[in-house]
Amino acid sequence: MTSSGPLAGIRILEVGVMLAGPYATMMLADLGAEVIKIEPPGGEISRQVSASYFASLNRNKQSVVLDLRSDQGRARLGELVANSHALLVNMKPSAIKRLGLTYDSLKEFNERIVCVAMTGFGLDGGDDPAFDYVIQAATGVAAMTGDPDGPPTLPGYSSADNSTGLTAALGLLAQIVSGRGGQVDVSLQDVMLSQLNYRAAAFLNDGIEPQRYPNGAHSYYVPAQLFPTADGYLALFITHDAFWAAFAAEAGIEGYPTMAERAAHRDEVLAVVNAALATDSAVGWQQRLGRLGIPVAAVRTLPEALAATPQAVVTAGTYRLVACPVKIAGYEPQYRPAPRLDEHAGAPAHSS
């Protein structure tokens, strides 16, 4: 294994709040970047949520407390910027500008600094509150999720924040690779609209408005949804005719050999599939269909999923956390615990 990650030698400053910004920089830190978390006096607010919450988003970082509203804090920030590759911040636009965390404000210290602003609606998009659930509601995600006879539904995790964090990390790295400093602007609204790709294209080009189907059914593929079984729920995802042929043979179903036929007779197909799946448990079907290469999984709880994938759990200090999802041949991240507040106050401004 190599001793340093692919981003070794890259220094990133983070003025991050709660989830989206800290998640972005944690991914970069896991890959070897030096990440300095700049916290206000009293600490970043997510320290107040819970110790495990903060640990899950801030491992492998350093902590330096700066009051960016003071002349001394501003001067110290300039010293850090002078010897860093990027600064990432997630706050409302007015705060980002007021604290001088844009490229226009920081280029005097380093013309090649990459400044990434993560906001709800863009750096010039105003200060309307833009929390994860609000963005999911505003972009149509909630309206297309859930049972058609029930209320709009939100996923069980912060999909907008996490997705925006990953997108911001991509934008940050892209601008560093370009060799030019500059402003990178990433908004939760833009990211979530982008992730609606084929749904948005179907409406924009074909006039097809999204529909909600029972059990999370896919809009194109049939059968592709959750199904009740004799014991538990099963996710079955039949995307092409070869999968259907193998499934139908195992389940004793006849007919509907093509994707077009199955889509045209959705209700009929779902009725026969439901009847077949009711004869065995979700785990039983997973074993039977998995052997045939069919995309299938019994629905697990999070504890069950973690127990089934122990390789995805790592230890950082005293905390057990989910590992970095990016695996690079020859490199194994060393997971250091999230820093204590201002733990690295005496760290030099130059790269170590």
Q: Which residues are catalytic?
A: 161
CA pair distance 228, 232, nearest whole angstrom: 6
CA pair distance 154, 160, nearest whole angstrom: 11
CA pair distance 9, 85, nearest whole angstrom: 9
β-partners of residue 146 are: none
β-partners of residue 183 are: 115
- How far, CA to CA in Å, does 323 sit from each of 119, 193, 253, 309, 326? 26, 28, 42, 11, 9
